[in-house]
Amino acid sequence: MPVEIERKFLVANSDWKLKISKEITIKQGYLSSNPERIVRIRIAGEKGIITIKGKTVNTTRAEYEYEIPLSEALELMELCEKPLIEKARYEILEHGNLWELDVFEGDNKGLIVAEIELESENQEFILPAWAGKEVSHESKYYNASLIKNSFKNWG
């Protein structure tokens, strides 16, 4: 079974902007945002993707991801729960690890989250100087949670 092992961090400063290797615009929606079984539709640049994720245990969950025709992704996006998630994703190589920084727009404007995918939950890595508080276990930072309680409402 394919798995995703991911840790999330808030961003402490803007030093990450000096290290960007790639940028992509992402729009995504959820056919199911139930934490037991998430089904996500994503448009990343000009690519359509469907992802099915299982329940998160610690920082690990089952993840199945497949490319689909862009036209179908656009149609499925109409069926998704609202609001949709809009963000710019920046890739940064730091200390030999790939980090993805999501700069949210729309109802989640102002939120920036950095993610690192690991090979195991115990994998060691060096935390970049721009990374702040870890929020891996705080569900309000999950994209599927942001459609129910947007960052703009956190007060």
Mean pLDDT of 94-122: 96
Percent of the chain with pLDDT over 70: 100
pLDDT digits (tens, 9 = 90+) for 109-149: 999 999 999 999 999 999 999 999 999 999 999 999 999 99
DSSP 13-82: SSGGGGGEEEEEEEEEEEEEEETTEEEEEEEETTEEEEEEEE--BTTEEEEEEEEE-HHHHHHHHTTS-S
H-helix or E-strand spanning residue 99:
strand 97-104
Q: Is the peptide bond before 128 cis (omega within 30 degrees of 0)?
A: no
Asked if 48 and 69 touch (Cβ cutoff 8 Å), the reply is yes
- Mean pLDDT of all residues belonging to the chain: 96
Please tell me the predicted confidence (pLDDT) of residue 155.
Answer: 81
Reduce the DSSP state of residue 104 to 3 states and report it. strand
Please tell me the predicted confidence (pLDDT) of residue 61.
Answer: 94
Percent of the chain with pLDDT over 90: 95
- As a whole number of angstroms, the distance between CA 99 and CA 89 comes to 10
Structural domains in the chain, CATH included, are 3-153 (2.40.320.10)
Please tell me the predicted confidence (pLDDT) of residue 151.
Answer: 96
Catalytic residues: 30
Reduce the DSSP state of residue 103 to 3 states and report it. strand
pLDDT digits (tens, 9 = 90+) for 34-58: 999 999 999 999 999 999 999 999 9
1 pLDDT more than 90: no
pLDDT digits (tens, 9 = 90+) for 18-27: 999 999 999 9
